[in-house]
Structure 1
């Protein structure tokens, strides 16, 4: 597509965004919604519409060439992603479930299930490709060094005497000759049998000819009927024309044009960076001196105005308050002096009074929040809506009406760079000017008001002393004298730093849940599909890890627990997260850390090194396989030597140190959460995602795609529907195991004459134990005991209102006593 088309898509996305913003930020505040279902429908509608905007903006950002437009779109993209995560958090808190079913919303908006798929932005990896390449090369070099050092020496060959060697060669040769002689004898016997047969009679010849004709004519007719049936199915639209299965010339041309646009995008970006340097140098050489002198003149005028208005020179604003930027605000000198005086009074107030006021305010806010909850449901405050409103306004005011008829090649505009760099240079110069003007003001005060000058200095010292306060203790860096490469090498040698597999999230196959809303209307809790799992993983893990801005402002998720039976793809999802975001993978599984870094000091050192390297090489993912072992109720006898509960106390402490600016995520996987202490496990992991066995639709897609992936051909003789039906209870891991045993190299070569059938997969499938319903019910029952599961049960049974009623009664009694 052309650049004009992408500009139009950008405009359409902003049109829809402006409509959404008017609905989310109305002129008059909306009344609280009492009906939970109606409120959820409204939030779900917003959520689906934001996904559509996100999909449009992602394609525009990926293929637009103009570098300045791309920066504007990137800011809007981050805001839309953040708002998506906020709406997801809103739905979880109001519906008490990690999975949401929106088939009715898709029906109302006339969208397909594919439109609900959350795309993973390409810029997560492309924009930091250099850093990722450097990390990969560093890790591969360290892995090679470790492999070379750990490579075992070849075993020493036993010495053999010449007599023994000759004897072994003779035995092997005689055996070979014997096999060859037996084969020749069998062939000669077969030839003798053929010659012994009698000559056929004329009647036998006619019967043989009739038999051959019958078979051949049947074969020809069956072929004709098959062709006719295929043509009819193609005509009715029930099957695809084989000509369209191969990529057409238009598709090949479109792919080539996309690759050309990406090359052009890089060229324009390089030119843009060069022009930024040139403009910055030009502004420093030409305008910096005039700009600083102008600022100084304005500050001096303000000094004189304040002197004339108040009778004394003002106090210069601090850097924390903005410095001389406060002076250039549209205010009188008296107003500025009043503001500075008010700030001084606030600083001089006692701290305990401030704490008491904060407590009182907190109590009042809690009371107000309770009253609002009683009144109805409201949307939580957003950290992204204001940013989206500002970015939308800049597009409408500047980019929407901009004439670009002369900029056909979509190159950068120098005037825009000058405007931006002037602001940056002004901020840099202001710091220098402030230092000079502070000294000049002090000299003026000493020259004119000698007595007041001494007081002002003393006051300034007092202020500085009062503002210093107590400093927070910094974390001790146990490895301050070591380089990053040495720490990485140590972690690789210990097996704690690993290389992630090249797995895309789209490889985690699964179908959409089409009856989720209908089942919930009849009070039946549906099991989520694998498509829902894929969506939740992209929202909770990939989108926050991929963008620093989103991670800092969005609801912070530090740890995720993936629970499910063996073979559902928990480890595959972890590797997909690392691959899609370019994250570094660390392994702190109980079995992997057993016997490494012994003692308390060793444990502290291990966690310190892991979290330090994870912050330096962020985004980072810390994997904990068999997470239930860390929180065992009772450690089994065979695992006591491994000490699986070793990280139970220290790891949550390090988890608390993860902040919004640290793109570090802990992911635990477990197949047996029942054996762990549920309270400590839920304290550690804020999000618990239950991964079920695949449903019928997912199994159908899995069989089809996995057979194709292993070079198998899916023909009409392969009944995929029956295969998906009989494989109920089997996981994707079981399916891969069966396909690998059936679709061998020899079987692939036999496919043209003997196509694959469903019966071939039944026997190896029957040898594997499936996930029985009892195991799935046990996982469901365990999940119902988690905090979110308990809330869900209370909301379903209507106990929430009953629980709230006695609490209100108690409060009234207490008030009466008072």
Structure 2
């Protein structure tokens, strides 16, 4: 986008932040709320506002290049994202569900559920170092001149080989056409079959194919028997007059009739086509037919490349900024350092004089460990009056000093105990309030760190930037005055430490002279030495099995063995699904949703997990399990996650690990985790993860050794993933009940993909069928009929059916033979065995497992159980 647009967008975003702060300041004065409906409404309104704010701030952060402004925007985005996740957690706890519905808040803002999508790639992409980016992708964005030259040479070699191959195929094609030419006698209507020719096939790597080349023999009999065209079959037996025997008038008449028939047929075809187009146009104009929106080609990779180009510009600006700081520091040291040192020493001497004039003694020289005479500047030293009191205390006896010290100690202890008791009392009060369904929103708002960070940052921005016109800085140059101030402060602090060393000598000379005047014994001031840090127990260093190997070689090894896979270009648009639009209207007496989620709702939960794998540090689950019936989009969703965050996709399914033995397992895990941490974000994927935790291994699956990873998943993978790592274990399963209960404990979050509802089915048929057949080939009623009949079918089965039914031959006939919905029905039913939607018993099985695996589902079950017990007691 242009500089003007980005500037205006930032101004608008700043106003939105100020509006949210005003709203939160009002809530800070609100009394505790006992009605959960009001609490839910407040949180949902704030959640919708923060979703809009995060989306705007993420765009601003992505297109902010000025170095000093980036330091302002980043804390805002990070605090806003964290606050957003806190609000979502609160809403989930109120809903007792992973899926949250805020329809009323959306209606008030004139939005729809699609606007609540948080993930906006590539705004949230994690920035890898340039050298790792060059290993992963063969692009030239971060290459130096030598690497670019080597890549150019390689490209030229590949191009020359491609040209040779094209020439070889083209000459072979020409030879094939030449040899398969058919001689045809027009007068006698005879076809002369060619003679068989013996071909010799020769080909060398450095030469194109020679001619002739052995190719497929073609049959010259193109005429098919047709009872309406008998004169074409056996044309030799039909007596026909030759051209010489017919007079010129008769010949002209025959020609005119033939031309007339051809013209009539062509005009009729053309008229039908025009009439059909007009009919479709009228239907569209009257609103009887609407143009369907197809899936647009995704520009994700272009966006990613643009992001990395922006990163390169940011790197350049950072380098310029560091250069400016270095130059400014050198200049200041050369020009101002003598005067700065003189000013510091004059200030310290004035401090000496002030104390001598008022007290008749000198203040102890501030210790170097406590920043030296910087304490004088920030008023951390004694005032003359306080110093007098201190001197009087020194004249007291040891017993009195001890009593005063004990008294002060007791006072401090009392204050600490009082604060601790108040905190415990407050915590108990809040816990009791929460148990009774009372929410103290005002307290949460006042103590929330993320809210305070946003307020502090935007306030500081309004102070620092009030005199700067950002619109004039179109080249994103750093503000030099601020650099000078910053470097001056650093130089001043460094020079003060140097001046303090010399001024301590002068201080001791003055004290010595004072002692001589007062006939006192001179004792030099003792200086505190830095405490030696306690030696920490040395942790046992883990032996690096691949210390002599480069990251690139390890990456290539995993890639060659098929563990690192290339993800297909799949985005969230590829996961065609619709949201549940009626769940909010069907709440029970406890204000809990009674209808289950639609297939589109799972996108929102998945995207929340992805935020922690992006640029900003947000809490995320270390492991995620996606369950659902076979062919329901689990693998597709896994590929979407990996592609959207631009992650390295490591497949540790039993098919990939069967080649490894128990002895090789430690080495495999070491390499996997080393590469995963180096090239993060990383997705460690296990397909059909229930096989790893199988209760009983089927005989036909024993050769895979599926339980190989069972012991190491917790110890070697999950334990090695730290909070700040952008790594996630992702598993899919279509039979989770066949696994041990241990599997539920391994995965922090479990999700169940619901089966298709009418909305999802309609969108699926609309998008996929329109892509295959086009808008005009399918009538509107067909989509609705198909969606209604095949409502509960899995999305994978539907897409496979469309691909099989609308093959190339059938698509060629669409204009002459319209598409019928029964063709898709026959494809489902006519197979052996026929395909049917998932049974109710199967879905109930999935639901039972999900209620045991998902934490919020467990909480909901407990809530209803308690409610039943209370109702029984009342009866």
| TM-score, scaled relative to structure 1 | 0.74
SS at match of 2:613: helix
1:683 deviates by 2.6
Partner of 1:502: 569
1:313-332 alignment, distance < 5 Å: 313-314=364-365, 316=367, 318=369, 328-332=377-381
1:624 deviates by 2.1
CA distance in 2, matches of 1:740, 1:400: 61
SS at match of 1:621: strand
SS at match of 2:285: helix
Partner of 2:863: 795
1:764 deviates by 1.9
Partner of 1:56: 56
Partner of 1:86: 86
8 Å contact kept, 2:613–2:620: no
CA distance in 1, matches of 2:593, 2:461: 46
Greater CA drift, 607-616 or 55-64: 55-64
Partner of 1:227: 278
Q: 1:592 aligns with which of 628, 651, 656?
A: 656
8 Å contact kept, 1:565–1:671: yes
1:9 deviates by 3.2
Partner of 1:419: 482
* Greater fraction helix: 1
1:449-598 alignment, distance < 5 Å: 456=527, 460=529, 463-464=531-532, 467-468=533-534, 470-471=536-537, 473=539, 476-479=542-545, 480-521=547-588, 525-541=594-610, 543-547=611-615, 550-551=616-617, 554-596=618-660, 598=662
8 Å contact kept, 2:681–2:727: yes
Partner of 2:693: 631
CA distance in 1, matches of 2:338, 2:777: 77
Q: Deviations over 1:455-497 (max 9, x none)?
A: 645xx36x32xx4253462652423343212322332344332
8 Å contact kept, 1:510–1:701: yes
Greater CA drift, 518-527 or 434-443: 434-443
1:425 deviates by 7.1
Pick closer, same or farther for the CA change 1:666–1:429 going to 2, 3 Å. Answer: farther
CA distance in 2, matches of 1:579, 1:263: 16
Asked whether 1:749 is paired with 2:812, we answer yes
1:11 deviates by 2.4
1:587 deviates by 2.2
CA distance in 1, matches of 2:593, 2:486: 59
Asked whether 1:115 is paired with 2:161, we answer no
Greater CA drift, 416-425 or 91-100: 416-425
SS at match of 1:623: strand
1:279-290 alignment, distance < 5 Å: 279-288=324-333, 290=336
CA distance in 2, matches of 1:237, 1:60: 42
CA distance in 2, matches of 1:750, 1:715: 10
1:726 deviates by 1.6
SS at match of 2:573: helix
8 Å contact kept, 1:496–1:592: yes
Partner of 1:385: 451
SS at match of 1:582: coil
Partner of 1:19: 19
8 Å contact kept, 1:559–1:687: yes
Q: Deviations over 1:196-222 (max 9, x none)?
A: 99xxxxxxxxxxx9xx999x9999799
Pick closer, same or farther for the CA change 1:230–1:675 going to 2, 3 Å. Answer: same
1:529 deviates by 2.3
Q: Deviations over 1:592-630 (max 9, x none)?
A: 22342523xx43333232222222112222112222233
Which of the two has higher C-alpha Rg?
2
SS at match of 1:76: helix
SS at match of 2:558: helix
Partner of 2:517: none
Partner of 1:154: none
1:445 deviates by 8.4
SS at match of 2:729: strand
SS at match of 2:612: helix
1:706 deviates by 1.9
8 Å contact kept, 1:533–1:691: yes
Partner of 1:603: 665
SS at match of 2:586: helix
CA distance in 2, matches of 1:643, 1:421: 65
1:283 deviates by 0.6
1:419 deviates by 0.8
1:359-378 alignment, distance < 5 Å: 367-374=428-435, 376-378=438-440
Q: Deviations over 1:607-654 (max 9, x none)?
A: 232222222112222112222233334444444554433433432234
Q: 2:784 aligns with which of 696, 701, 721?
A: 721
Pick closer, same or farther for the CA change 1:182–1:712 going to 2, 3 Å. Answer: closer
Partner of 2:846: 779
SS at match of 1:668: strand
Pick closer, same or farther for the CA change 1:747–1:120 going to 2, 3 Å. Answer: same
Asked whether 1:294 is paired with 2:340, we answer yes
Q: Deviations over 1:558-577 (max 9, x none)?
A: 21111111222222222222
CA distance in 2, matches of 1:263, 1:782: 43
Q: Deviations over 1:257-298 (max 9, x none)?
A: x99x99997897587446424422331221135369737964
Partner of 2:752: 690
1:358 deviates by 13
CA distance in 1, matches of 2:657, 2:452: 46
CA distance in 1, matches of 2:653, 2:295: 46
Partner of 2:837: 770
Partner of 1:645: 707
1:79-478 alignment, distance < 5 Å: 79-125=79-125, 130=130, 133-137=133-137, 191=232, 227=278, 230-231=281-282, 233-236=284-287, 239-240=290-291, 272-273=317-318, 275-288=320-333, 290=336, 294=340, 298=344, 301=347, 305=351, 311=362, 313-314=364-365, 316=367, 318=369, 328-333=377-382, 367-374=428-435, 376-378=438-440, 382-399=448-465, 402-403=468-469, 407=472, 410-414=474-478, 416-420=479-483, 422-423=485-486, 426-427=489-490, 430=493, 433=495, 436=498, 456=527, 460=529, 463-464=531-532, 467-468=533-534, 470-471=536-537, 473=539, 476-478=542-544
Q: Deviations over 1:644-697 (max 9, x none)?
A: 33433432234234333222122121111112233x333322221221122211
1:76 deviates by 2.6
8 Å contact kept, 2:122–2:307: no
SS at match of 1:98: coil
CA distance in 1, matches of 2:430, 2:126: 44
CA distance in 1, matches of 2:676, 2:736: 27
1:30-41 alignment, distance < 5 Å: 30-41=30-41
CA distance in 1, matches of 2:555, 2:342: 51
Greater CA drift, 324-333 or 504-513: 324-333
1:704 deviates by 2.0
Greater CA drift, 304-313 or 491-500: 304-313
1:517 deviates by 0.7
Pick closer, same or farther for the CA change 1:445–1:650 going to 2, 3 Å. Answer: farther
1:779 deviates by 1.0
